[in-house]
Structure 1
Amino acid sequence: MAGLPLPMIPRPITLFFIVFFAFSPSAKAAQFSVLSYGAKPDGKTDSTKAFAAAWAHACASTQPATISVPKGSFSLGQVRFQGPCKNRAILLRIDGTLVAPSDYKVIGNAKNWLIFEHVNGVAVSGGTLDGQGAGLWSCKNSGKGCPRGATSLEFTNSNNIAITGLASLNSQLFHIVINGCQNVKVQGVKVSAAGNSPNTDGIHVQSSTGVTILNSRIGTGDDCVSIGPGTSSLWIENVACGPGHGISIGSLGKESQEAGVQNVTVKTATFTGTQNGLRIKSWGRPSNGFARDILFQHAVMNNVQNPIVIDQNYCPGEKNCPGQVSGVKISDVTYQDIHGSSATEVAVKFDCSKKYPCTGIKLEDVKLTYKNQPAEASCSNAGGLASGLVQPTSCL
């Protein structure tokens, strides 16, 4: 039978990334090795100043530039890669491992370990980032007073960015953050942290347009991918998630005045042993936020606690929201070809706002089981329609 019409979601225009135009053979890149600036691949010597100096020279170059990090282990404190630069084609090619300080207090209050700001046309390729976050996780899990922690890699207020073939291990906080950016491609990334590590989101996107995440494996203690306010034209494809909390839009509606999320596609994703699969969550309090034109397509769930969930009553610690309802408007969300097993009886849960019910929810070809039997569905303030085989039986 004919399928439902899908939301019109433009694929971000990222073709020029496929060959980073400036790095074609005809464009001669100026070469800057971190070793030339005193970096030592011994895992002990502090190479922070050497990396900063290599960046300063590459950023000041009027021709395309390559910063090379050879094999070995490089100890780094916080490095700020500041723009704008004189050229729009800087490649940071990493063949070794960048290691954060073993004492989490050194960068624990710095917000970021490695941060790129106001850059255009930067590519980070290969290598491993080792955030050495386990000490901070232990501190947090013990309930002591601890620093918040540092994100391992952040791009903020930047355009035309590529991150390819990078491994990020054991971040103190989020592994990779894309904030206030346009036209970003993340491909072939591997994120790894313990399943009980707090707030170690794999990739977090917010206030950004035209971000593509492809062919990546993410296992962590929080969301594999988290999608914050102000995100539009986001394309996620061929991502394996687990352990972790799934792929989450939200939490939204924390602020009363907040940019919405729209035009998001999540395609060909696998979730294994995760807390959630495909999740949208908003705070249970007033806000002008929204989430609309969302497509979840071709997902496989392997023993996932909440395979499909919309939770508009998020209220951590039951503070600042009891007795209120979410103002976030959720509309036009399509779930197509979602299969697999739930670790709980209720595999589909739509818990929407009383004041602004979810509208335009579409379920098409959904088959989720619990202990080899049809799972259950639960709906509250949710409207939409189901077509094709839908199991559990739709409650819309």
Structure 2
Amino acid sequence: MSHLAIFSLLFIFLFNFSLATNTIYNVQNYGAKSNGQTDSSNAFLSAWKAACASTSPATIYMPRGNYLIRSAEFNGETCKSKAIIIRIDGTLLAPSDYNVIGNEGSWIKFEKANGVSIFGGTFDGQGASLWSCKTSGKNCPKGTTALAFYNSNNVVISGVTAQNSQMFHILVDGCHNVKLQGVKVSSPGNSPNTDGIHIQSSSGVSIMNSRIGTGDDCISIGPGNSNLWIEGIACGPGHGISIGSLGWESQEQGVQNVTVKTVTFTGTENGVRVKTWARPSSSFVRAVLFQHIVMANVQNPIIIDQNYCPNHESCPNQGSGVKISDVTYQDIHGTSSTEVAVKLNCSKTNPCTGITLDDVNLSYKDGRADASCVNAGGRASGFEELSHCL
């Protein structure tokens, strides 16, 4: 028998063996009901507990249907299995009454869940009643994140839909090596504080080939992040892709090595934004690339705002201590809905350095858009107004 034939037989054997050793835990076998009315939280947690106890790869399966989950925390600290797949063909529903969850912070939470992969499914936060409460000016709960990962490594989130969250749709906090791909986020443009994907204190996170429409940032990048790759994103409605707000704390971790490329912004409030509080801080933003980006009727296509101070509270007449350097905007085209398409409003105490605007061409109505730069240094190419900006 040839070496190739032996290798092929060995591959088939190992593949079939892996399937045989991957036990499937169907949540319905643990009491989950697909009627959208019966609380199935304990059934999901029981399936998780069984999968965690496995010493081999395990799959938790959720068949088609609607499953009401009051709230659930999946803790992987004591898991024996280092590879748990969660395959979802149905929809998880949060309680429509926001008082049921209250201020728990997260609706579906994974903590120290290393090696977890989620494929498919819809996470519906049913946040409309809380949004109404917030816009009415009443005293309302802050709201919960729909799907949150804390202190977890080697995570895959693929083909997932997150919609109508009370607050953030997906949160990645204190994690390493997380891959989000083919994700869809959907909430109305007027839903408050409903960021699509928020990342903080994490490294090695990639977000690929995803569509995000929401009432706040499509993707928000908080303090302590490094080595992020964001590519193939359709954003709108929403507030764009933002680094920040940074610098609220005087001692705060910075953001570095971020790539955002091949993104289309449609009708958003901002395109690519860096935002820092006008307060003293040790934080920083450096080594950022925004590349191959299309703007379609965006209010602020390119913006750095280092004088963020809503209502002039807690930061009056102070300069931002956040140091911004080596930020490149390359091949950015399209239309602005405001005359000034490029706004670089940097700190008077810590001016931006190493800003590069390369092949940036943005139009407003029937002509070229304008640019405004304050306390910003670097070089520019593209429409003529840029050459007078840096």
Please give the TM-score of this superposition, normalised by the length of structure 2.
Answer: 0.94
Partners of 1:31 and 1:94 in 2: CA distance? 12
Partners of 2:378 and 2:224 in 1: CA distance? 25
* Structure 1 equivalent of residue 272 of structure 2: 278
Partners of 2:89 and 2:385 in 1: CA distance? 48
Partners of 1:106 and 1:50 in 2: CA distance? 19
Partners of 1:138 and 1:161 in 2: CA distance? 34
Please report how far the alpha carbon of residue 108 of structure 1 lies from its aligned counterpart in structure 2 after TM superposition.
3.0
* Structure 2 equivalent of residue 121 of structure 1: 115
Please report how far the alpha carbon of residue 380 of structure 1 lies from its aligned counterpart in structure 2 after TM superposition.
0.5
* Structure 2 equivalent of residue 161 of structure 1: 155
Please report how far the alpha carbon of residue 24 of structure 1 lies from its aligned counterpart in structure 2 after TM superposition.
5.9
Whether contact under 8 Å (1:348, 1:392) holds in the other structure is no
Q: Which structure 1 segments of 5+ residues have no match?
A: 1-22
Please report how far the alpha carbon of residue 316 of structure 1 lies from its aligned counterpart in structure 2 after TM superposition.
1.9
Whether contact under 8 Å (1:308, 1:349) holds in the other structure is yes
* Structure 2 equivalent of residue 57 of structure 1: 50
Partners of 1:46 and 1:251 in 2: CA distance? 37
Please report how far the alpha carbon of residue 59 of structure 1 lies from its aligned counterpart in structure 2 after TM superposition.
1.1
**Is 1:338 the equivalent of 2:314?**
no
Partners of 1:379 and 1:354 in 2: CA distance? 12
1:390 to 368, 383, 389: 383
Structure 1 segments, 4+ long, off by >6 Å, are none
CA RMSD across the alignment: 1.0
* Structure 2 equivalent of residue 80 of structure 1: 73
**Is 1:362 the equivalent of 2:356?**
yes
2:248 to 254, 262, 266: 254
Partners of 2:200 and 2:169 in 1: CA distance? 14
Please report how far the alpha carbon of residue 204 of structure 1 lies from its aligned counterpart in structure 2 after TM superposition.
0.3
Question: How many positions carry a matched residue from both structures?
Answer: 373
Greater share of residues in helix: 2
Deviation per residue, 1:231-250 (Å, 9 max, x gap): 00000000000000000000
Whether contact under 8 Å (2:342, 2:371) holds in the other structure is yes
* Structure 2 equivalent of residue 372 of structure 1: 366
Whether contact under 8 Å (2:326, 2:354) holds in the other structure is yes
Counterpart of 2:306 in structure 1: which amino acid? Q
**Is 1:94 the equivalent of 2:88?**
yes
Whether contact under 8 Å (2:67, 2:90) holds in the other structure is yes
**Is 1:349 the equivalent of 2:343?**
yes
**Is 1:35 the equivalent of 2:28?**
yes
Partners of 1:226 and 1:256 in 2: CA distance? 20
Please give the TM-score of this superposition, normalised by the length of structure 1.
Answer: 0.93
Distance 1:41 1:392, change over 3 A: farther
Whether contact under 8 Å (1:333, 1:361) holds in the other structure is yes
The structure, 1 or 2, with the larger RCO (C-alpha pairs under 8 Å, 6+ apart) is: 1
- Secondary structure at the aligned position of 1:393 is classed as helix
How much identity, in percent, do the aligned residues show? 66
Q: Which structure 2 segments of 5+ residues have no match?
A: 1-13
Whether contact under 8 Å (2:368, 2:383) holds in the other structure is no
Whether contact under 8 Å (1:104, 1:135) holds in the other structure is yes
